[in-house]
Structure 1
Amino acid sequence: MSESINILVAPLNWGLGHATRCIPIIRTLQQEGYTVIIASDGEALTLLDKEFPELSKVSLPSYDIEYAKKKQHFKRKMISSIPKISRAIRKEHKALKQIIATYNIKGVISDNRLGLYTSKIPTIFITHQLQILSGKTTATTTFLHKRFIKRFNECWVPDYMGSSNLSGILGHPTKGNYNVNYIGPLSRMKKRTLQQRYDVLVVLSGPEPQKSILEAILLKELKKYNGSVLFIQGRIKEEEQRSTQKNIEIVNFLTSEKLSEAINSAGFIIARSGYTTIMDLAALQKKAFFIPTPGQTEQEYLAQRLKEKGIAPYSSQDTFKVKDLTKIEVYSGFNKPQETIDLKKFFGLFKSE
């Protein structure tokens, strides 16, 4: 490109998955000569600042999402958060006008930030959930989500279109009129053949208080495990911090390159069944044991789907015991090479002015 085009990339700060799956998009934009401005809040913004210290950053209003301590209160907690989330959406929508003017933005890529639409420039919404599973309210939540999605010029689903897809009915609803591009799974990870350094790698993610609850359960149970464990807490700090408890090496966080190396050198992974984690493990062709976030229907669906496909076992958080890990032996893991889809072919919207 003769003249740099400024693109705003803005992931939701809900766990770290939305931020990490934007990393390959940001890298590809840079390779194609675009100038990227990153916008988010909290740990998502901190993580991307560590990955891309040279890029400009914008702080957006926080959705301030918190999970209930008990599974049966999950939906009630989410419903009670709607007014707070709605205010944040209105604030970020209002802020977008100023951001566009300040940074001369020519396009927006929003990963699940619902307020970042405008008629002034092309806007893209990223989601793997065209259908929002919420029990009896699935039809209502899906309808409301669709109303927001249609305010954007395009919707990108990070998955394959065909039967080898990873998201199932979440990203492939039987009904719905969306302007969708299936851009292929997004992962910052690359498969490498490395000598095994750890028997088990734990990767924690997701909002509090459930992250800390699972951390306590796993630390207690894995001290009984006959093998080496690397335990990544998923807590973004200024510096990497390490400690040891019996057979468990604990680290607060790892940057993308170090995390990719750690996963490649681990026997198997224990993690939430979040979609970004699934994309990463599929890219690395690893075996996994999943523990869905209590009450989060999306993760419960994905874990059940992978179990039915014979790929990975799972356990509820409340019932997990270290002996459950023996189930991994009869599951295949993610053992199929991923088809490569060229991301840059989806950037044409930004050149069509």
Structure 2
Amino acid sequence: MKHNKKRILIAPLNWGLGHATRCIPIIKALLEHDFHPIIASDGVALSLLQKEFPTVSSIELPPYNVTYAKKGKNFKLKLIKDSPKLLKAVKDEKKTVKEIVETHSISGIISDNRLGVYSKKVPSVFITHQLNVLSGSTTWLSTKMHQKIIKKFDECWVPDIEGTPNLSGKLGHTENFDIPTKYIGPLSRFKKQYVNYVNKVLVLISGPEPQRTLLEEKLLEAFKDFTGKVVFVKGKMEKEQTIQVNRNITIYNFMTSELLEKTINESELIISRSGYTTVMDLAKLNKKAFFIPTPGQFEQEYLAERLTRQNLVPSCNQDDFSIKKIEDTKDFEGLKSFNFETDYKELFSLF
């Protein structure tokens, strides 16, 4: 009799590229442990995973279509204004997932921050590094709302270490949370390579518009008279990869994992947003970095401030960045990886 592999739906949120990229090691582990993953997402997150796993089947989910405010201080207002749109998207998502579970005979679900991707019929896991959701004066409310959603799932997986030192700080660690929570260790699709530096600076830009473009324009301007070799990755998932060379700057629209891993390893300094997935990736590769958090995004601001306070990575606001600031990095230690092996066999025993 033919052995039928259990089908696991894995669904990252399409918000920047971080949720999709940190699902890459999980999809690989599912394949290694003889499961049949099915990818479900939308937009750039979906196209990134389709490029990484051309033979794995994928399904498009309804988009959330949340964008960032132009000004950081309006971030929260914009989210509140968008919330009816978001609630409708989650409702559509639940309906779609219900159909997928039935038509594709799904045995388990792994949702990375997609709020409506769960089912009462099969074990459902929620991946998040935010047991506390920072939103300034409304943190208690955003945290309560998020935890209420997580309780609809059977387990919560936190991509970090339970003890200290850890990467997520108070985001991923909380006293009072009564859903089965597993700390699965930092997730990264990359491996460290011991190579000589080719580039002085690698600029990684990602995240929702319009802030992605605003940062891109600012940094291209800042680096135009820089003497060292600079590589720019815009984080725009387009059909074809494009490469432009502008004196000392080489600009890519996007890179696949393999090329990005090689380029990060070959670069002396990384300048990027302080999204949690980026923090995990750069820790795995033991990199020196400089962080510019997305304006008004409390979580990235908290992570950047925390790492600067711990003397690991300097950071500043988008408006305050200048090329002189990167000289600060020599006084900082850079990020370090943890020796933590994720026990996927144990994690997947849920299914």
Alignment check: 8 A CA contact 2:222 2:323 kept: yes
**Matches for 1:27-176 after TM superposition, within 5 Å:** 27-176=28-177
Deviations 1:1-34 (A, max 9, x none): 9430000000000000000000000000000000
CA distance in 2, matches of 1:222, 1:235: 20
1:319 alignment partner in structure 2: 320
Deviations 1:256-287 (A, max 9, x none): 11100000000010000000000000000000
CA distance in 2, matches of 1:259, 1:59: 25
Question: How far apart are residue 334 of structure 1 and its match?
Answer: 1.2
Alignment check: 8 A CA contact 1:285 1:337 kept: no
2:268 alignment partner in structure 1: 267
Percent identity reads 51
CA distance in 2, matches of 1:263, 1:65: 29
The one-letter code matched in structure 2 to 1:300 is E
2:335 alignment partner in structure 1: 334
The one-letter code matched in structure 2 to 1:302 is L
Structure 1 length-normalised TM = 0.97
The one-letter code matched in structure 2 to 1:42 is G
CA distance in 2, matches of 1:8, 1:269: 33
Question: How far apart are residue 108 of structure 1 and its match?
Answer: 0.4
1:204 alignment partner in structure 2: 205
Show structure 2 runs of 5+ residues with no match.
none
Deviations 1:82-132 (A, max 9, x none): 000100100010111110122110000000000012210000000000000
Alignment check: 8 A CA contact 2:286 2:337 kept: yes
Deviations 1:214-266 (A, max 9, x none): 00000000113221100000001111100022211000111111100000000
2:224 alignment partner in structure 1: 223
**Matches for 1:241-320 after TM superposition, within 5 Å:** 241-320=242-321
Question: How far apart are residue 296 of structure 1 and its match?
Answer: 0.1
Q: SS of the residue aligned with 2:107? A: strand
Q: SS of the residue aligned with 1:268? A: strand
The one-letter code matched in structure 2 to 1:53 is P
CA distance in 1, matches of 2:343, 2:187: 11
2:234 alignment partner in structure 1: 233
Q: SS of the residue aligned with 2:350? A: helix
Show structure 1 runs of 5+ residues with no match.
none
Question: How far apart are residue 293 of structure 1 and its match?
Answer: 0.2
CA distance in 1, matches of 2:100, 2:179: 27
Greater mean deviation of Cα atoms: 23-32 or 172-181: 172-181
Distance 1:184 1:337, change over 3 A: closer
CA distance in 2, matches of 1:335, 1:5: 36
CA distance in 1, matches of 2:7, 2:346: 17
Alignment check: 8 A CA contact 2:5 2:35 kept: yes
Establish whether residue 26 from structure 1 lines up as the match of residue 27 from structure 2.
yes
The one-letter code matched in structure 2 to 1:194 is V
CA distance in 1, matches of 2:278, 2:85: 27
Question: How far apart are residue 336 of structure 1 and its match?
Answer: 4.4
The one-letter code matched in structure 2 to 1:244 is V
- Count of aligned pairs: 350
CA distance in 2, matches of 1:115, 1:294: 27
CA distance in 1, matches of 2:203, 2:121: 44
Q: SS of the residue aligned with 1:328? A: helix
CA distance in 2, matches of 1:223, 1:67: 27
CA distance in 2, matches of 1:147, 1:67: 24
CA distance in 2, matches of 1:174, 1:331: 31
Alignment check: 8 A CA contact 1:224 1:322 kept: no
Alignment check: 8 A CA contact 1:282 1:338 kept: no
Moved over 3 A (4+): 335-338
CA distance in 1, matches of 2:306, 2:252: 31
Alignment check: 8 A CA contact 1:68 1:209 kept: yes
Question: How far apart are residue 137 of structure 1 and its match?
Answer: 0.6
**Matches for 1:8-27 after TM superposition, within 5 Å:** 8-27=9-28
Alignment check: 8 A CA contact 2:154 2:179 kept: no
Establish whether residue 186 from structure 1 lines up as the match of residue 179 from structure 2.
no
Structure 2 length-normalised TM = 0.98
CA distance in 2, matches of 1:284, 1:15: 21
Question: How far apart are residue 309 of structure 1 and its match?
Answer: 0.7
CA distance in 2, matches of 1:10, 1:336: 26
